[in-house]
Chain A
Amino acid sequence: EAGVAQSPRYKIIEKRQSVAFWCNPISGHATLYWYQQILGQGPKLLIQFQNNGVVDDSQLPKDRFSAERLKGVDSTLKIQPAKLEDSAVYLCASSPRTGAYNGYTFGSGTRLTVV
């Protein structure tokens, strides 16, 4: 079974620039998550999708972050404009259904550096 695919692996941008990350979940997984992991901390949930609908985006900084999951499969996370404090690893995860930790699988992440 293929895992959760993310791209790019690394990205360096200047502050105030825009950036987008892409995630392809495990086939058939209805639920998709985006997490932000700042150095030295655990992953923090940004947004959760159930199929192509948003279930929880309470911790997404909506003035600069946006995410979509068109057709309930792939997802993109965008930051516009980026700030220095957005430097982090952005992890995508998927699970068969909401609340299922068996099968809750993470991708390898995108490491973003904002300079």
Chain B
Amino acid sequence: GQQLNQSPQSMFIQEGEDVSMNCTSSSIFNTWLWYKQEPGEGPVLLIALYKAGELTSNGRLTAQFGITRKDSFLNISASIPSDVGIYFCAYMNYGGSQGNLIFGKGTKLSVKP
């Protein structure tokens, strides 16, 4: 599978601040996925993006599918303590007939009350 590069690796912010993170690849994808993993749990799907340029919101979360189809962005507005966790971008690997998720290394978010 192709490698996904996420930045930043970690963020320490104050409650109420906005957050931006991104994910890039050298390959073109048809779908970008964003997951959140809380401590001691498995990743949970937040947002799925299907089309270049698409902007999709889920509450205070907004994600965009880059025009080049090689990147994606996730923004969190007015952060709260429960936003703490690791945010992963991912794509569905259809190589062969597998169909499985490939993840980036994640952005770890810490929120100070």
Contacts and interface: CB of A to CB of B under 8 A. Distances in A.
B59 interface: no
B29 interface: no
A48 B93 CA distance: 12
A43 B94 contact: no
Contact of A43 (B33, B43, B99): B43
A48 B92 CA distance: 13
B113 interface: no
A42 B94 contact: no
A4 B98 contact: no
B11 interface: no
Contact of B41 (A48, A93, A99, A108): A108
Interface residues of A, number: 25
A93 B42 CA distance: 9
Contact of B42 (A40, A42, A108): A108
B105 A106 contact: no
Interface residues of B, number: 25
Given A42-B103, A101-B92, A106 B98 contact: no
Given A40-B105, A99-B94, A101-B33, A45 B43 contact: no
A106 B44 contact: yes
Interface in B13-57: 31, 33, 40-45, 48
A105 to B, nearest CB: 8
Contact of A99 (B44, B45, B99): B99
A2 interface: no
Given A43-B103, A99-B99, A104 B45 contact: yes
A82 to B, nearest CB: 22
A112 interface: no
A98 B97 contact: yes
Nearest to B44: A106
Contacts of B48: 101-102
A109 interface: yes
Nearest to A47: B100
A106 B92 contact: no
Interface of B: 4, 31, 33, 40-45, 48, 88, 90, 92, 94, 96-106
